[in-house]
A = this chain, B = another copy of it.
């Protein structure tokens, strides 16, 4: 089936389901898995959420239509996880992003890519290195992914403009940040590809950056960190890359340079040393594709979760994430039933689902 064949109604339902309060990537994946299509899951939502204690705040058809119109007027394309045009690299993530917007050459999302990320307040040498590395990797046929931040990110995009670069935004398409990267943004939109998990023009918030970082590493065979202080956001990207089974490389630096601390620490933890493009090419040469996504961790029954199970699960939760299996042990119910309860509580806005089968009070 081609992208055009992907029914408009299902696409529309995907967007509405993905944007519904309490439906993150985890709940989205399980609801579509349970009901077969986004449209059917969407139809089941009100009842599920009501039973969990609250009417769901679904994304209305008007909102979805407005988002689609806005994005398409900007020239962007909505890609839904279930459709054939969705990038394989993101489809295999656990969980995959339900929908992404792409502006520019979306074909770049299907090519072998490497992420080059790093400090916003980077040294001139760090930027020069990132630019050169991106150029060399681009010449070797790789797409360069990064986050359009100041410093290393911008330099990496610049170096890869002639050969292909993908910028993943924290906010929506059209939310250009920082302002000084507006020119670079336009060039990437024309010659590369801008990607976002958010609705067009939505302003980036702090919580969007881990999501953005997850997509940067997800799109890539390897993540190269160029200059990063300890506690830098680039280290989150590196950690996500490792969790996603991607290669992690770091550019070493002097212990006297605070901007090298994060990179040296990554190397200490097992990241490969990156002194140039050869190191990256060596790290990825054997990779022929992405790891298949893991099978669903929990098999959900068709039956509605008994209300008292919903409350017993909720009572066990706190703002600290806890694993579904642990909850299942404590309530003495099958993990699948507990997970279903968590999804329903999430729809009611009472629970937050995190990757790796963790849950906490919203």
Residues of A at the B interface (CB closer than 8 Å) are 125, 128-129, 251-257, 260-261, 263-265, 267-268, 272-276, 279
B276, A272: Cβ atoms closer than 8 Å? no
Complex copy number for this chain = 2
- In the complex, which of the residues B254, B257, B268, B273 contacts A268, with contact meaning CB atoms closer than 8 Å? B273
Contact of B256 with A252 in the complex, beta carbons under 8 Å: no
Question: Bound complex: CA of A263 vs CA of B263, how far in Å?
Answer: 15
Q: How far is the CA of A261 from the CA of B273 in the complex (A)?
A: 11
Q: Is the CB of A255 within 8 A of B267?
A: no
A283 to chain B, nearest CB (A): 11
Contact A253 B254 (CB under 8 A): yes
- B268 near A255 (CB under 8 angstroms)? no
Contact residues in B for A273 (Cβ distance below 8 Å): 252, 264-265, 267-268
Q: In the bound complex, how far is the Cα of B261 from the Cα of A275, in angstroms?
A: 8
Which residues of B lie under 8 Å from residue A129 when comparing CB positions? 254-256
Cα distance A323–B274 when bound, in Å? 36
Cβ-defined contact, A251 with B255, below 8 A: yes
- Is B272 touching A255 in the complex (CB atoms < 8 A)? no
A319 to B187: give the CA distance in the assembly, Å. 62
Contact yes or no, B251 A254, CB < 8 A: yes
Q: Is the beta-carbon distance between A254 and B260 smaller than 8 angstroms?
A: yes
Residue from the list B128, B254, B272, B276 in contact with A252, Cβ < 8 A? B254
Contact of A255 among B252, B257, B261, B265 (CB under 8 A): B252
Residues of B within 8 A of A272 (CB): 268
CB distance from A187 to the nearest CB of B (A): 26
Complex Cα gap A251–B263 (Å) = 13
Residues of B within 8 A of A274 (CB): 255
Given contacts A252-B267, A255-B274, A261-B275, 9 further A-B contacts (CB under 8 A): A125-B254, A128-B256, A129-B255, A129-B256, A252-B252, A252-B263, A252-B273, A253-B253, A264-B275
